[in-house]
Amino acid sequence: MAKHNEIGKEGEELALVFLKNKNYKILHTNWRYYKKEIDIVAIDNKMLAIIEVKTRTSSDFNLPSQTVSLQKQKFLIDAANAYVETFNVDLEIRFDIISVNINKKNKKIDHLEDAFFPLW
């Protein structure tokens, strides 16, 4: 596995532990709709959380949360719509971003709830 894939996987595992510690109910990880993927689907206080995880080893440039482009947001919205239809979900939907920064000294997690709002 390529180094960047290993770092991404580690970031997603840290995000899962973080969410479980906050009492989120994890429904799916890496759920796919064609070529679109949702990193984590969870329930938080009767709300469906669609969560994108961004992992970096340095914060010298953009914060990981700043790398979710409008195109990526559209992919997540499309995938969320498919998820809701596939599983007949009747909950409000929220789009979150978890930023994981992993470096030699520490691991830092930032959770941005309601990171963006879809224009349905």
Q: How does DSSP classify residue 65?
A: G
Q: Is the pLDDT of residue 107 over 90?
A: no
- Which whole number is the average pLDDT over 4-11? 77
CATH number for the domain including 68?
Answer: 3.40.1350.10
Cα pseudo-dihedral 17, 19, 23, 29, rounded to 10: -90
Q: How far is CA 69 from CA 36, 54, 97, 102, in A?
A: 14, 12, 12, 22
pTM of the predicted protein model = 0.89
Q: Is the pLDDT of residue 85 over 60?
A: yes
Q: How confident is the model at residue 4 (pLDDT cuts 50, 70, 90)?
A: low
Q: Is the pLDDT of residue 120 over 60?
A: no
Highest averaged pLDDT of the listed ranges 3-12, 54-63, 80-89: 80-89
Task: Give the domain extent around 42.
Answer: 3-116
When divided into structural domains, the chain yields a total of 1
Q: Is the pLDDT of residue 3 over 70?
A: no
The two tokens of residue 102 are 């992993």
Q: Is the pLDDT of residue 65 over 70?
A: no
